[in-house]
Amino acid sequence: MIVASALTKRYPEGREALAGVSFEIADGEMAFITGHSGAGKSTLFRLMAGIERPTSGSIVVNGQNLAALRKGAVPYLRRNFGLIFQDQKLLFDRNVLANVMLPLAIVGLPHREAERRALAALDKVGLHGREKALPIALSGGEQQRLAIARAVVNRPAILLADEPTANLDAASAADILEIFRAFHQVGVTVIVATHDPQWMARLSPRILRLEQGRLLAGGTA
């Protein structure tokens, strides 16, 4: 469960990226955060992932208030999330398998078990057989699927994605959203920040619409 209350983020230069945003996302829900560029989607993504702290207000994830969380506890909180970044943040000097195994190395899973789970995650996103390839050798859609495999390999309860279909062609974007639907169907909370409205009708998610840092609407498309 994610509960945001009067969430405000003001950057040092004075720009207010979010202003008094409040919402609740229940466990197992699929929610899309939408809005134009600069509406505050990525800021909200970063606040939910504990990458940044709110200027005021609170955001509670599974009972933990991220605004009051001590610094040392943040990494452990992030392990609850599967994070998919707009720029994917893949390690281009490591092969596909090593990229997916990184979150498992962080939690100290034995190498053999980590490899088994990483291969299973790659299989789920349709990258079976590409384990030894370097990310640079993958297409844009495959790179995004690799990012998803890395995000889900730790079996997180919440999948949080920032513009996952940006820069993808329609077919690749459809594949990615089908993967999200599959995870949602097995009970994973899926939260996607996107400015692309064309997928909402297909997935019927709950919509949180942001405009200039304010939440305009929350409902189902």
Partner 1 sequence: MRIWLAQHRAALRDALRRLAGAPLGNILSLLVIGIVLTLPAAGWLALDNLGKAVGNAAGSQQISIFLNPDAERRDIGEIESRLRTTVPGQWRFIARETALKRLQDTEGMAEIVASLPRNPLPDAFVIEPADTRPDSLETLAGAFREWPKVAHVQLDSAWIKRFDAFLRIARLALSLLGGLLAAALVAVTFNTIRLQILAQADEIEVARLIGATDAFIRRPFQYYGALQGAFGGLLASLLIAVGSHLLSGPVGELVALYGGSFALHGPSSRDALLLTAAGAALGWLGAAFSVALHLRRETP
Residues that bind partner 1 (CB under 8 A): 49, 51-53, 71-72, 75-76, 78-79, 83, 85, 89-91, 102-103, 105-108, 110-111, 150-151, 154
Residue 102 Cβ vs partner 1, minimum distance, rounded to whole Å: 7
Residue 189 Cβ vs partner 1, minimum distance, rounded to whole Å: 17
Nearer to partner 1 among residue 96 and residue 215 (C-beta): 96
Residue 109 Cβ vs partner 1, minimum distance, rounded to whole Å: 8
Burial class (CB in 10 A: 0-12, 13-18, 19+), 72: exposed
What gap in Å lies between CA 50 and CA 46, rounded to an integer? 6
Strand (E) positions, the chain?
2-10, 16-25, 30-34, 56-61, 64-65, 81-84, 158-162, 189-194, 206-211, 214-220
Q: How many helices (H) and strands (E) does the chain have?
A: 7, 10
Residue 196 Cβ vs partner 1, minimum distance, rounded to whole Å: 23
Residue 50 Cβ vs partner 1, minimum distance, rounded to whole Å: 10
Nearer to partner 1 among residue 111 and residue 132 (C-beta): 111
User: Is the CB of residue 189 less than 8 Å from the CB of residue 27?
Assistant: yes
Nearer to partner 1 among residue 53 and residue 214 (C-beta): 53
Nearer to partner 1 among residue 146 and residue 215 (C-beta): 146
User: Is the CB of residue 33 less than 8 Å from the CB of residue 191?
Assistant: yes
Nearer to partner 1 among residue 26 and residue 105 (C-beta): 105
Residue 57 Cβ vs partner 1, minimum distance, rounded to whole Å: 18
What gap in Å lies between CA 102 and CA 202, rounded to an integer? 33
Nearer to partner 1 among residue 26 and residue 107 (C-beta): 107
CA distances (Å), 120 to each of 55, 97, 111, 167, 193, in order?
A: 40, 11, 14, 26, 26
